[in-house]
Amino acid sequence: MRSKLLQMLIDHQGHFVSGEAISNHLGCSRTAVWKHIEELRKAGYKLEAAPRKGYRIIHQPNVLTESEIKAGLATRYLGMNVHYDKSVNSTQEIAHRISREGAPEGTIVVADEQVAGKGRLGREWFSPIGTGIWMSMILKPKIPPQQAPQLTLLTAVAVIRGVKAATGIQCDIKWPNDILLNGKKLVGILTEMQADPDQIHSVIIGTGINVNETDFPEEIKEIATSLKIEKEEEINRATVIKRILEHFEELYELFLEEGFLPIKKMWEDHAITVGREITARTTTKTLHGFACGITDDGVLLLKDETGEIHKIYSADIEF
Ligand code: BT5
């Protein structure tokens, strides 16, 4: 009910919506409308009420509650279930648990803060309260487990498009799981799986996006940035989430129908890893050479100085 009301007010942003129109739309009494409006006010929304005109929205708080994410979200299933907590260890942990307990495909887990946010290989992900997007998506694709890493690249394209749609900001993709803005890390993606050798139970895709951070800890100060730092204005996190989910669902459907190839082409339009000298650090070795491209499966190809081509499945890349 609250998301429907919010949606209606957001759709008419700046204009009044009459109490009667709201009660008809929601199928509830005028008194019930008034109660919902009061609830929204308590949650931090500034709403103007005028006699005979109705209500209009003046200010939306920068919150990530279920109603805020769902209001105006144009997806069919992604984000239809939102699991929101103010503070968690890691949204990945929660997504794994609720997925095992039966949460449907498309469920998203969002938190305002992570106290033990995870990067790859046990690294830490800095996730302070109230500023960024710390989100995990639960997917249950019927694909062979070895194709799951392609979903990291698909997510990168969806995030690039979603951020562009919500803010106008154009970012770049650094293979495999980083999105950079002006050369600094804006987004990290972590793809994890629950699977048997030949069957996926679920893929949990974690996305950490620096949105309204103005400062970072010493260790990442030089390498990290946020949308606010670059745009010099506060960005509404729920809007960014909605646009990302919409692009993700569209690309995911395409991926399930036609495979990775169409996604690969879109990915290449934004990738800055390819066509340059790089150093790739895998867990077992360090390779230097020219990044020639990615394969049709999303694997990075690196040509070393002897001309040998190496397939790189996962690594940290330096330019
Ligand atoms: C990643 O790992 O980039 C994946 C990050 C995924 C985070 C999301 S948030 C929602 C979900 N829940 C989780 O617990 N995790 C996911 P990796 O490529 O290993 O990069 C980690 C490195 O990035 C760290 O060692 C730092 O150097 C740097 N880093 C940490 N926090 C950062 C931040 N907020 N912004 C930019 N860089 C950061």
Pairing between strand 300-303 and 286-294? antiparallel
Please tell me the pTM assigned to this model: 0.94
177 lines ligand 1 (CB under 6 A): yes
Query: What was the pLDDT predicted at 1?
Result: 81
Contact 53, 17 (CB under 8 A): no
CA of 127 to the centre of ligand 1 (A): 8
Give tens-digit pLDDT for 275-302.
Answer: 999 999 999 999 999 999 999 999 999 9
118 lines ligand 1 (CB under 6 A): yes
Q: What is the ipTM of this complex?
A: 0.99
248 lines ligand 1 (CB under 6 A): no
If you classify domain 276-318 with CATH, what class do you get? mainly beta
CA gap 84, 107 in Å, rounded: 11
Give tens-digit pLDDT for 52-106.
Answer: 999 999 988 888 888 889 988 999 999 999 999 999 999 999 999 999 999 999 9
CA of 188 to the centre of ligand 1 (A): 5
69: tokens are 């994410």
CA of 123 to the centre of ligand 1 (A): 7
CA gap 218, 63 in Å, rounded: 27
Tell me the CA distances in angstroms from 123 to 150, 308, 319, one per residue in order.
Answer: 21, 31, 21
Binding-site positions: 114, 185
Contact 186, 161 (CB under 8 A): no
Residue with the nearest Cα to atom 21 of ligand 1?
119
Residue 208 is given by DSSP the state E
**Residues 269-297 as b or e (16 or more Cβ within 10 Å = b):** ebbbbbeeebebeeeeeebebbbeebeeb
79 lines ligand 1 (CB under 6 A): no
Residue in 88, 112, 125, 159 to alter for ligand 1 test, most ligand atoms within 8 A of Cβ: 125
CA gap 62, 201 in Å, rounded: 34
* pLDDT tens for each residue of the chain, 319 residues long: 888 899 899 889 889 999 999 999 999 999 999 999 999 999 899 999 999 999 999 988 888 888 889 988 999 999 999 999 999 999 999 999 999 999 999 999 999 999 999 999 999 999 999 999 999 999 999 999 999 999 999 999 999 999 999 999 999 999 999 999 999 999 999 999 999 989 999 999 999 999 999 999 999 999 999 999 999 999 999 999 999 999 999 999 999 999 999 999 999 999 999 999 999 999 999 999 999 999 999 999 999 999 999 999 999 999 9
Pairing between strand 108-114 and 82-88? parallel
54 lines ligand 1 (CB under 6 A): no
Tell me the CA distances in angstroms from 168 to 79, 162, 163, 211, one per residue in order.
Answer: 23, 9, 7, 14
H or E segment to which residue 201 belongs:
strand 199-209
Domain 1-59 has CATH 1.10.10.10: yes
Residue 176: asked if its preceding bond is cis (omega within 30°), the reply is yes
220 lines ligand 1 (CB under 6 A): yes
Parse the chain into domains and list their residue ranges: 1-59, 66-269, 276-318
Domain 66-269 has CATH 3.40.50.300: no
To which residue do tokens 């105006």 refer?
72
Binding-site positions for biotin: 114, 185
106 lines ligand 1 (CB under 6 A): no
CA of 243 to the centre of ligand 1 (A): 21
Query: Hey, do 1-59 and 276-318 end up sharing a CATH topology, with the first three levels equal?
Result: no
Locate the ligand 1 atom nearest the alpha carbon of residue 116 and give its number: 14
The torsion angles phi and psi of 6, rounded to 5 degrees, stand at: -60, -45
